[in-house]
Structure formats: structure tokens, C-alpha cells
Structure 1
Amino acid sequence: MGDGAPFVSGYYTPEIWSADCQQELELGRAVKARMDELLAIDGVQVFDSGDVDSTQSKRPLVWVKLPDGRTAGSVLMAEGLAREWTPGYKADWCE
């Protein structure tokens, strides 16, 4: 969710399973690899927001905090792998 609050703000990443183009698929794979790296950092913490997303699987919405205080979302946005999300926003990764 980045630094945001459930259903108010957060970050948006490219899709892997429902990518609209090859570029989005490749970016989605890069995000997954980067998240794997971030989650493997010693001292990383995952906090449950208590909310779930609106997908059929009702995935939990969580904050991933790094030992230096940054969130995974802020790192992904700084590296160009995510964009800021607000209600109604749909990123186009196929530009």
C-alpha cells in the first residue's frame, strides 16, 4: 500500500497475470523480483492494515516497512516500478 491508507492512497504496480502488453508484463516481473529482494532484507516488517482488496480473492492490504523506515511502495515508486495510486486511478504501462 505504500505510505497510504486503505482505499485512499497507495501505489500501483504493473500486472503479471493480466498484463495489457509485453512491456507491462516485463515491468511486472521486475517489480516481483524487486519485492522479493525487499522482503528478504533482515529486519523488514509487514503490517496488516485490517482491510482486504476488492479482488475475488480478497487479498489483505499490508504495509511493508524496511529497517531504514521506508516502505516498499516508496522504494518501488522511486525506482520507477510503481506509481502513486488514488481511488479511480488506472495506470497505463503500455505507453
Structure 2
Amino acid sequence: MAVAGFYGRDAISDATGLGLISNSSVAAGRGSFRECYTPLDRTCVIDGDTIRLKGEKIRLLDIDAPEVRDYKCASEKERGDRATLRLVEILNSGTVSIERKGSRDVDQYGRSLRIVQVDGRSAGGILVAEGLARPWSGKRRPWCL
């Protein structure tokens, strides 16, 4: 399935001139996303709440998913792996769009903060509904009991 539109840092500025357009369709067809295996992978899923799109790291703004690298217990790693694989499935299921929301554009790690939607539904919201992530509360909370 081809996707209309395009995405890129130099594509279109928003009304403030400070960043990307608020709603932008991504040129990523069905099957374009996979897990990231190397830093050279340009369009892939890093973990349950971070993707790389055409080389740009994007943090899903609305959720927190368990860690797959700096995990604190085996169950966090297992849940993080499930969230990562499910996010790959979600992103490959339809038209992906990226929305800038709020005044904060990037996080402390340099990742763009965005709402990621597939066919108009929040990818993060799907993960939350399926119990693979939780809504972002503004700070990290432990996944291990």
C-alpha cells in the first residue's frame, strides 16, 4: 500500500516556522517498518515508544513503554520486546502520520516528540489499550514490581 505525501525535516514548516508541519503523511508503505538492528537503519522501530523515520529519531509523545535495553528486570525486557514487535505490526498496518503537539519539540536525548498515528488512530493509544504501554505521565515510573 503506497502512502500519499512525504515527510522530512526540510519538507514543510509549521505556522510558527519552528518545526515540522503539524500533520504530515509519511512516505512509508505497508511493510516499511521493522525492528532497528543497527544505527544505519533509517526507518525502523527502536523500542515500544521510539522509532526512526528516514533517519530521524521520534519518541511517541503520548506513551511510555517498557525498556528493551536499560531494563530493570526480566519481565520489563519481555514486555518491552512485545511492545516493540507490536509497534512494528501497527506501523505496517496502514497510513502513518506524524503530528507535532505542544510546545516541546525534542526531548533531552534529541528525539523529536510526536504523536504517531496509523489510519487516524494513535499508535501509542493502541499499545496502551492492549496493555503493552501506559499513558505518559511526564515522568518515568518503574515497570518491575
Calculate the TM-score normalised by the size of structure 2: 0.52
Are 1:71 and 2:122 matched, yes or no?
yes
Gaps of 5+ in 2: 1-48, 50-60
Q: Which has the higher contact order (CA 8 A, sep 6+)?
A: 1
Cα RMSD over matched residues?
2.0
Code of the residue aligned with 1:90 in structure 2: it is R
The answer to whether residue 138 in structure 2 is matched with residue 92 in structure 1 is: no
CA apart distance, 1:45? 1.6
> Which residue of structure 2 aligns with residue 5 of structure 1?
none
Q: CA deviation digits over 1:13-72, x for unaligned, max 9?
A: 1111100000000111111101111111221222345711112xx1111211121x2201
Task: Tell me if 1:33 matches 2:88.
Answer: no
Partners of 2:141 and 2:129 lie apart in 1 by 16
Q: Counterpart in 2 of 1:51?
A: 105
Letter matched to residue 105 of structure 2? D
Unmatched 5+ stretches in structure 1: 2-8
Identity over aligned pairs, percent: 36
How many residues are matched?
A: 84
Could you tell me which residue of structure 2 aligns to residue 15 of structure 1? 67
Contact 1:83 1:91 survives alignment (8 Å): no
Deviation >4 Å, runs of 4+ = none
| Aligned counterparts of 2:135 and 2:114: Cα–Cα separation in 1 | 16
| Structure of higher CA gyration radius | 2
Contact 1:53–1:59 (8 Å) recurs in 2:
yes
